[in-house]
A and B are shown apart, each in its own frame.
Chain A
Amino acid sequence: MSEIILDIQNLTKYFDIGSFGTKKYVHAVEDVSFELHKSETLGIVGESGSGKSTLARLILGLIPVTSGKVYYEGDEITGVKGKYASKVRSDIQMVFQDPYASLNPRIKIGESIAEPIIVNKLIKNKKDVRLRVEELLNLVGLQPEMYDRYPHEFSGGQRQRIGIARALSLNPKVLICDEAVSALDVSVQAQVLNLFNRLKDELNLTYIFIGHDLSVVKYVSNRILVMYLGEIMEIANTEDIFINTQHPYTKALISAIPEVKSKGIKERIILKGDIPSPVNPPEGCRFYSRCFKAQDKCGKTHPELREIDTDHFVRCHFSEKGGNKWLDI
């Protein structure tokens, strides 16, 4: 594999929600480690409480970590301040689910896109800034004339393009897309997904693509990381995740996707119960309460993340190299 651009080591984030001496922590992200390679797309999937969005914010340094380290191109960036921090911050950018919420309704979209360029003094000449913004608009498939329009004049898909243009304005190397297409209609979603793929090739970007829709994440990702209640459950190459599924939770997620199939309905694993709260989670396997393969051991011993095959890590006592027959139901 190519060189490592981001190295995440034992990243942990607890949110203290206790009051008056009672100890209550949301275990939002717990001991998460992975490497992000240059020019790859790493998909992160998970449901509510999985910590996937918190993880993105930790990497960007938007919230302080409880423990653990983030290395960018070999240098530690956790808690770094000053000039280097702003360089890192412009190298790693984020695209959000709802770009409308982050666009000021009274500011022309061109000026919104230009703002990071001006703040970071990337280009000083006003005329050049405008040229650069028009170039960016062009890049994301909008017309340069749209510079002078306001956010409400755009459709959902176009706003997402504006959000992407703004994220690209600082020439980032890594783009973290947090549910970036989740709010879009199918046909618009397809346009934005194609745009992401095209930009990746044109600008040699590296993506972390966070989503809850496994079919979308599969479509864009080289590798997929599955999270549940703050922990990594499984991480592997996209093909491996689907063909050689090792974790029962991954298996359930894959089977849960409603697909257009004219012939027969696929076998579906229905997990029992609700997603537990990430506040003071149990000692054993976090997935124990809902797992269709749970054994006594799972409730007592916390499984470690093991490499059961090349680049295929699983947090389950029972997964093993080669077969996933034991997961059949």
Chain B
Amino acid sequence: MSHAESAAAYAEARQQVEQRWRTAFESSAIGIAMADFAGRFFAANSVFRNMLGYTESELYQLTYLDVTYEEDRNTNQELVGELVEGKRQHFEIEKRYCCKDGTLVWVRNNVSCVPGMGGVAPFWFAVVEDITQRKKDESARRYAEEKYRLVVETASDAVISLDETSTILLANPGTTRIFGYDQAELIGKPLTILMPEFLRKMHEVGFKRYLATGQRHINWQGTELVGLRKNGQEFPVEISFGELTNDEHRVFTGFIRDISERKQAQRAIQNAQAELARVSRLTTMGELAASIAHEVNQPLTAVNNNSNACLRLLANQNLQPDVLRRALEEIVADGTRASAIITRIRGFIKKAPAEKNRLDVNQVIGEVLVMMGHGFEENRILLQSELAQALPPVLGDRVQLQQVLLNLIMNGIEAMTAVTNRPRALSVQSRIDESGDVLIAVRDSGTGLGSESDSVFTPFFTTKTNGMGMGLPISRSLIEGHGGRLWSSPNSPHGAIFSFTLPAAAGSPP
């Protein structure tokens, strides 16, 4: 091949390479621009030109600073300066361009310095990506996040996020206000720091069980528990928790509300009601006593008067037999009358006949739990109720059944007062048993009955220092009066179960 031939071939090859580069440059999906060291553009592809809305000739009149948004110029200039000083080979910048029509475009530029060679002066080479849409999305997301953050920050409730180990990831200012810990004191700590001792073990066990089985040990919405402030004070809280799974991680976020005031108000109402009930009972008893006194005093007065009159006449030796007979007849009549009054009153007190109505057992249980009110909290009892739905109604006396339930629950609570090394759990359960009767069970985690399990139903037997020993015998006779049974059995691993059955009311579906 001749020199001329090879030169021509070389020139052709060169042209081909250049053409390929130019085409690549021009048809690139990403913007590319070049500027001399004075910053003036001398080449830009169509993506870049279209992005800014300038023609080639217009663009080559401008420097990169001319089209850079005012606020971004300084940063851009500094980075370029570092390139000039050789501190870096290239830089990346997110900035805004001012388009020809005045609109702004967010871009991410990758700028490098192309060293001069073969008579070509060095120049800036920028790869420009339009990130306007991404910026918009980001800003929208940031706005949404800000909105939620604001809600969380200003919430009066404590908002706490936990990871899978129940470690606190986040706590809002409400948490500080309620619990007294700074955010920094809480982050990275276990949630149990905010619970009294008696709830900690239960939380740990329950949380692990939930992670393993998905089975919740408490209701996650509006459950009332006890919180512990930094100063050691315990107070009632209402909690609601939600779960979020993110990149295989599970995050739990909870709202904890301080309900001390609400509880206090409830307590005041309950106290007032209890006081009212007590006063009205006393009044009734007082009235009863007064009316007994009046009723009995009448014949007693007559007996005394008649007898005294006879004695006086006798003393004067002036008592005629027929007068005496009439007086004695009246005395006997009045004595009989007095004893009839007493018999009537005794019957009135004793009989108070049971009023049997169709009752929803779950409703009766609910009423009793309301009556117990803060008895559970005060004794640090964790109450669980497992009430079967769609129970058949029973025929019963509401007040008597309430008395039985109250008695069993109070016994359960008292049996747990000495328990300090495990949760004090009391559960009230209702269900249908094998024979179709309604079964109610009260379980405690107390000291249990041991060898005394048979004696507890014996009248005047008691394990309590100030007990009468009549609660269970009376309860049993009340339940038997309803055609049911009441018995005890040991609870596992601790405590006792008292169960009673009530026959389903006739005519209810099996």
- Physical interaction between A and B: no
Contact residues of A with B, CB < 8 Å?
none
